């Protein structure tokens, strides 16, 4: 007997047939004698629609009301999944974040989990009841609904697995594991049997949507055994050969590649603050207020011009752009810029691998490959195990495919 958390993403609960399929999978685990908690996302596309409605009414909407709206998708699927389970004779009940309670911090819209009270769930699971938990949501210190940022159900699942001391956390999605890059845009992407926490963390943080970054961070910290697998095919009976990807410690991987994978993100925007005075403190004058407004800035470059002014260019998440613009405009007096230029037609392409620590030339291969394709690099940033570049969004697929080949990642 094992205690497991099974998380189903949006496409896995996209309609009633898919929800019936989820129920059948859960039943198999229950019949095998396991205690099961299920975490569900909203039906595919629903969260996007809810977000769009908020944005349409007001680009600078109240984040607490945004949470009230976007958390509803998971309320629907948790109830439906519980009904589907009951219908096939499996005892189940749904749990909203506030009912557990799953407590978060005050950062509405991208809240972090502070605690999960797991006792009642554990007690009921022990009596054979499946807990169907609405992912993505919790309750903030102001006693209002909070959501965990896009893709947050992954984090709900991993945090729940830690709180329930589960033996595994299975993340069911529409691909059968973690690949060397998004298999939707590179047909030759290879499935990885195992990936190191650190590589998965870095890949997720630069755009590989298959797991939310925070979920990987938590899994690494809490030692949760996470595996990514498809809800669309294959079996998952306990003891069978599970076909997904396991996220593991680096030393569990025998054959290490220099580059583990390539990720892209189209959720970027580029901002150039033009002709600011080139003086000490200018970076603090720009980025201080942005941080204060909760805007996460990613890549930064500064171009010094001859006349003593400088252009400061940086990237940020697209959804933060309205807030960033307003913050900069509000601080015009203390910064002293001529104009703000924004560009949404950009994408960030990143190459990730722990092997970079010990191998030189990874960045150079990237620059040369992109140059050969005539792709201009606008901004570069690096970390110990990652190189990222910002390019025009139109070249995203070309760049990812070319790099995938250049690093020898293509499937035979
Ligand atoms: P879910 O709704 O189940 O949470 P997501 O859309 O959030 O699913 O994540 C799964 C998607 O992640 C896949 O359909 C795939 O297009 C994308 N993806 C991006 N990079 C990778 C990668 N390296 N490996 C696997 N999938 C990836
Ligand atoms: N439904 C939420 C989203 O689309 C959470 C999730 O799917 O993980 O971001
Ligand atoms: Mg997801």
179 in contact with ligand 1, CB cutoff 6 A: yes
Q: Are strands 130-134 and 35-40 parallel, antiparallel or unpaired?
A: parallel
List residues near ligand 2 (CB under 6 A): 9-10, 41-42, 47, 73, 135-136, 150-154
Q: What is the CATH number of domain 3-251?
A: 3.40.1160.10
Alpha carbon of 137 to ligand 2 centroid (Å): 10
d(CA 181, CA 189): 6
Residues 237, 256 contacting (CB under 8 angstroms) = no
Q: In Å, how far from its chain's centre is CA 253?
A: 23
Alpha carbon of 116 to ligand 2 centroid (Å): 19
d(CA 409, CA 279): 45
> Which bin fits 273, alpha (ψ -120 to 50), beta or left (φ > 0)?
beta
Task: Ligand 2, residue 152: give the atom nearest the CA.
Answer: 8
The alpha carbon dihedral of 22, 23, 24, 30 has a sign of positive
Q: How far apart are the first and last CA of the chain?
A: 39
Alpha carbon of 371 to ligand 2 centroid (Å): 36
Q: Which residues contact 348 (CB under 8 A, 6 or more apart)?
A: 206, 207, 264, 265, 268, 298, 299, 315, 388, 389, 390, 391
Q: What one-character-per-residue DSSP string does 293-336 give?
A: TTPPEEEEEEEE-TTSEEEEEEEEEGGGHHHHHHHHHHTHHHH-
Specify whether domain 256-412 bears CATH 3.30.2130.10: yes
d(CA 185, CA 69): 32
Task: Ligand 2, residue 9: give the atom nearest the CA.
Answer: 7
Domain boundaries of the chain, sorted by first residue = 3-251, 256-412
Ligand in closest contact with the CA of 77: 2
Q: Which of 14, 145, 151 to mutate to test the pocket of ligand 2 (most atoms within 8 A of CB)?
A: 151
Q: Which of 25, 174, 210 to mutate to test the pocket of ligand 1 (most atoms within 8 A of CB)?
A: 210
The alpha carbon dihedral of 293, 204, 201, 359 has a sign of negative
DSSP letter for 98, please: G
Domains 3-251 and 256-412 belong to one CATH topology: no
Q: What does residue 78 show for φ and ψ, rounded to 5 degrees?
A: -65, -45
Q: What does residue 13 show for φ and ψ, rounded to 5 degrees?
A: -130, 30
Alpha carbon of 172 to ligand 3 centroid (Å): 10
d(CA 324, CA 290): 6
How do the pLDDT tens digits run along the chain, 412 residues long?
Answer: 899 999 999 999 999 999 999 999 999 999 999 999 999 999 999 999 999 999 999 988 999 999 999 999 999 999 999 999 999 999 999 999 999 999 999 999 999 999 999 999 999 999 999 999 999 999 999 999 999 999 999 999 999 999 999 999 999 999 999 999 999 999 999 999 999 999 999 999 999 999 999 999 999 999 999 999 999 865 443 334 457 999 999 888 877 789 999 999 999 999 999 999 999 999 999 999 999 999 999 999 998 877 889 999 999 999 899 999 999 999 999 999 999 999 999 999 999 999 899 888 999 999 999 999 999 999 999 999 999 999 999 999 999 999 999 999 999 8
Q: Ligand 3 (ion): which residues have CB within 5 A?
A: 9, 151
Alpha carbon of 351 to ligand 1 centroid (Å): 17
- The pLDDT assigned to 241 comes to 46
Q: Ligand 1 atom 18: the closest Cα is on which residue?
A: 182
- The pLDDT assigned to 196 comes to 94
Tokens of 157: 């699942």
């Amino acid at each position: 007997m094992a205690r497991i958390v099974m998380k189903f993403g949006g496409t896995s609960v996209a309609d009633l047939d898919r929800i019936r399929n989820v129920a059948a999978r859960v039943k198999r685990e229950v019949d095998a004698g396991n205690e099961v908690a299920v975490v569900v996302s909203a039906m595919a596309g629903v969260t996007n629609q809810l977000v769009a409605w908020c944005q349409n009414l007001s680009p600078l909407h109240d984040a607490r009301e945004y949470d009230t709206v976007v958390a509803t998708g998971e309320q629907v699927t948790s109830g439906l999944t519980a009904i589907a389970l009951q219908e096939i004779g499996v005892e189940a009940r749904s749990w909203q974040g506030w009912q557990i309670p799953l407590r978060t911090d005050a950062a509405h819209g991208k809240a972090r989990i502070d605690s999960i009270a797991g006792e009642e769930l554990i007690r009921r699971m022990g009596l054979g009841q499946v807990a169907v938990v609405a992912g993505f949501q919790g309750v903030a210190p102001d006693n209002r609904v909070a959501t965990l940022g896009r893709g947050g159900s992954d984090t709900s699942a991993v945090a729940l697995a830690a709180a329930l001391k589960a033996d595994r956390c299975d993340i069911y999605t529409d691909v059968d594991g973690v690949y060397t890059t998004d298999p939707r845009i590179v047909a030759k992407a290879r499935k990885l049997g195992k990936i190191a926490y650190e590589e998965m963390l870095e890949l997720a943080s630069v755009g590989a949507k298959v797991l939310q970054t925070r979920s990987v961070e938590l899994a690494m910290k809490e030692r949760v055994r996470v595996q990514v697998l498809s809800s669309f095919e294959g079996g998952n009976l306990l003891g069978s050969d599970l076909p997904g990807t396991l996220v593991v410690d680096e030393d569990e991987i025998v054959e290490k590649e220099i580059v583990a994978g390539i990720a892209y993100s189209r959720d970027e925007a580029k901002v150039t603050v033009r002709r600011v005075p080139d003086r000490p403190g200018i970076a603090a004058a720009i980025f201080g207020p942005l941080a204060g407004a909760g805007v996460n800035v990613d890549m930064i470059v500064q171009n010094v011009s001859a006349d003593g002014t400088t252009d400061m260019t940086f990237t940020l998440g697209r959804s933060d752009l309205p807030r960033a613009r307003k913050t900069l405009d509000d601080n015009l007096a203390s910064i002293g810029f001529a104009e703000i230029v924004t560009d949404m037609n950009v994408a960030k392409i990143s190459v990730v691998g722990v092997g970079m620590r010990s191998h030189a030339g990874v960045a150079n291969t990237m620059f040369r490959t992109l140059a050969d394709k005539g792709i201009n690099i606008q901004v570069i940033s690096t970390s110990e195990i990652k190189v990222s570049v910002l390019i025009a969004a139109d070249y995203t697929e070309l760049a990812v495919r070319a790099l995938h080949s250049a690093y020898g990642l293509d499937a035979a």
